Amino acid sequence: MAEQNNNENVVETEDQTEATSGVIINAAQMQSLDISDRFTRTKTETGWQIKLEASARVTINFMTSMRKFEITLMQNDIIERDGEDLILIRNQPADAYRSQRGVSSSPLARNSATPLASEPAEGRTV
């Protein structure tokens, strides 16, 4: 009879992170991080951790293709750089974030009062 290894199902939990939801990004591709409101930053062994002190719009600009990622985070949410990972940790239920979605400050954002196309001028053929 072969001897069974009783450690087969052991799961390491030292570096475990718990969150309601989140996003993990390759930090090596990040060029800049823009946070629209108050936060505190703490250095860690493998990077840093930012804790939001108020709801904020977070924009991550990437080095390639002029791409960016925008997300609204709430108070006590965490942005953590751990080696090559950038982790956005949401600590509130998903419904709370739906109510926080703001209108983009971009001049290209459409206002609900602005029509999609202008009306043709009188006497002008289209």
Q: Residue 43 contacts by C-beta under 8 Å, 6 or more apart in sequence?
A: none
d(CA 61, CA 29): 9
- 17-69 pLDDT, tens digit each: 677 788 888 888 899 999 999 999 999 999 999 999 999 999 999 988 788 99
- Model-level pTM? 0.64
Strand order across the 56-62 sheet: 30-35, 56-62, 68-73
Sheet holding 78-82, edge to edge: 21-26, 85-90, 78-82, 47-52, 39-44
Other beta carbons within 10 Å of 100: 14
